[in-house]
Amino acid sequence: MPSLHRLIIIATATFAATLANAGVLKIDLPKESATTYKPGPNLELVNARCLICHSADYAAMQPPNMPRKTWEAEVTKMKKVYGAPIADDEIATLADYFAKTYGNEATAAAKP
């Protein structure tokens, strides 16, 4: 059974961690923040498949004129090279989203 002293240390550490988290949560991200994906077709699927390992920053950092084929290759790379859990028949849907939001099929209004 842990001593009282040890329990107090654990409680203090937990409290400190809670404070630290609260501080992080208070940060107001700018509206155009790249940590989440832009609205677009099948955003739910994109969020489910593409936020497991990293934020949307990597997508936002890609050149804005990337064609659908290049996005398809990117999605395929995430699956084949990094082991992203993406079904073969989801690759086209995901590539479609990226071509239309971050790629060369995006309308001027959808661009940041």
Under a CB-based contact definition with an 8 Å cutoff, are residues 10 and 4 in contact?
A: no
78 binds ligand HEC (CB under 6 A): yes
Q: 107 is written with which tokens?
A: 């309308």
94 binds ligand HEC (CB under 6 A): yes
Q: What is the rounded (10 degree) CA torsion for 48, 54, 59, 63?
A: -160
- Pick the stretch among 3-11, 16-24, 28-36, 53-61 that binds ligand HEC (CB under 6 A): 53-61
Contact 95, 72 (CB under 8 A): yes
Binding residues for ligand HEC, rule CB under 6 A, total 18
Instruction: Decide: 104 and 64 in contact? Cβ < 8 Å.
Output: yes
The nearest distance, CB 38 to ligand HEC, in angstroms, is 12
Among 7, 11, 53, 87, binds ligand HEC (CB under 6 A): 53
106 near ligand HEC, rule: CB under 6 A: no
Cβ atoms within 10 Å of 102's Cβ, excluding its own: 26
Contact set with ligand HEC (CB under 6 A)? 49-50, 52-54, 58-59, 62, 74-75, 77-78, 82-84, 86, 94, 98
